[in-house]
Structure 1
Amino acid sequence: MRPDDIEKLKELNIFRGVKKSTFDRAIAPSFLQSFPTGTKLLEENNSADFLYIVLDGLIEMSSSSNGDDTVIEVLAPVNLFILAAVLNDDVCLQSARTLTAARILMIPASLIRELLGDDQGFMKAVVFELASAYRRTVKELKNQKLRTGVERLANWLLKEERSQGGQRQVLIPYEKRVLAAYLGMTAENLSRGFAALSGEGVTMKGMRIDIADVPRLRDFAHPSPLVDDEEPSMRHE
């Protein structure tokens, strides 16, 4: 593992404030693997054998029922997934696959549960991470239930424009069908959404979106800190 990988891991909520021995015990038996685009990492309703940490790449978290599929979340580095299933020693409620080439650290689930009883700092960090995940879920539910599809798209564009450098331009980082599913829209409605936003200065050229007037788009989207703000990281003590 590269030195910068170690530093990335130490900035994760679940490793902030933990004993050095706890961190070392978690990392020593773990597997760091590289996966190509489109690799299925896990299937929902299967047991959680590992805690997954994304070091590079994008991961699609999805679910299906009666032939219908949806994208629940898209994870970027550095992030983790299926912590709750690991802690409960239960099945996964989501499937995961790589949207791009990715490097993933896999920590044995049984080790995570063991470390909880050995380090109070680790237990506190895990509780903080679970609380943050719960708040993100509530925000996403509010986004889905209180906004139209076009409003969700507009707010996604604003968030991506900031994260991609604030240059009034967004490059869609994955297939448009994935974006549509994540926003709770069909592919056709996503196209209509972009067409509707053309009146707010948004133009699409392939995978590139140009935003002529960010304040104008913001006035249309009405972003809210209770929906759109990122959750804070755990403070170092």
Structure 2
Amino acid sequence: SGMVEANFEAMLAGSFLQRFPASVVLFSESDLTDFLHILVDGQVELFASANNREGTMTLIKPVATFVLASALVDGAYQMSARTLASSQILMIPAENIRVAMLADRDFSHKAVLELASCYHGVVRAYKNIKLRTGVERLANYLLVQHRRQGGDILTLPVEKRTLASMLGITPENLSRAFSTLKPYGVKVDGPKIDLQNIKDLETLAKPSVLIDTP
């Protein structure tokens, strides 16, 4: 990693690697941030709640940290987290992270880059919500999955309920959005999606490198 070995060992003191089954809430928003979490294997959903409503903020895939900002400021978790699949997670005491930031230049540099990447992700997500309709968001999501999975027939990596929450629409509106995309070659069979006319879908979606992740 480039860290001084002694600093690296000190940072990992008191850490532990644990496997959690699916549907386990790892922490809740407003709880004190005790650990930095690193997803080694599996999938984690970050979500938030207000006024008896719940929304998916983002999905974490390995290998990735989450709640780094909360760990650095010694504050409360700003989101809740739960496993969507059996997941292996490395948990490092938050205090160790703050000490490492002061003690090790290489670690500080990498932490800043991670925070910058997270910030860019938040901006992209916000632009996606503010500048596109629900149908356009779904169309671009399918195009991203098309690139990631490498074929015209793809499998939704999350339940449709979670996908709707990610896109900022209700499950009912997600169904309507899929119906709207039928003339653009989108055929739905449960979690299987057949993209039969990528060109027409791209014409509708108008994908942007400033919004859509690779």
Measured against the shorter chain, the TM-score band is over 0.9
**Matches of 2:178 and 2:12, distance apart in 1:** 44
| AA aligned opposite 1:38 | S
Give 2:128's aligned residue. 143
**Matches of 2:163 and 2:52, distance apart in 1:** 19
Once the two structures are superposed, residues 121-179 of structure 1 have per-residue CA deviations (whole angstroms, 9 ceiling, x without a partner) of 11111111111111110111000000000100011111112112x11122112221111
Once the two structures are superposed, residues 170-216 of structure 1 have per-residue CA deviations (whole angstroms, 9 ceiling, x without a partner) of 21122211110010010000000111111110011011111012222
The answer for unaligned runs of 5 or more in structure 2 is: none
- The answer to whether the 8 Å contact 2:124/2:212 transfers is yes
TM normalised by structure 2 equals 0.96
Q: Where do 4+ consecutive residues of structure 1 move more than 6 Å?
A: none
| AA aligned opposite 2:159 | E
**Matches of 1:118 and 1:79, distance apart in 2:** 22
Query: What aligned pairs does 1:56-205 form with structure 2 within 5 A after superposition?
Result: 56-164=41-149, 166-205=150-189
TM normalised by structure 1 equals 0.87
**Matches of 2:181 and 2:10, distance apart in 1:** 51
The answer for unaligned runs of 5 or more in structure 1 is: 1-15, 231-237
**Matches of 2:13 and 2:154, distance apart in 1:** 39
Once the two structures are superposed, residues 16-50 of structure 1 have per-residue CA deviations (whole angstroms, 9 ceiling, x without a partner) of 54334433433453211111110000000001100
- The answer to whether the 8 Å contact 1:30/1:106 transfers is yes
Supply the RMSD in Å over aligned alpha carbons: 1.3
| AA aligned opposite 1:36 | P
Give percent identity, aligned residues only. 44
- The answer to whether the 8 Å contact 1:17/1:125 transfers is no
Greater CA deviation, 216-225 or 47-56? 216-225
Count of matched residue positions in the alignment of Structure 1 and Structure 2: 214
After superposition, the Cα gap between the structure-2 partners of 1:158 and 1:20, relative to the gap in structure 1 and judged at 3 Å, is farther
- The answer to whether the 8 Å contact 2:12/2:96 transfers is no
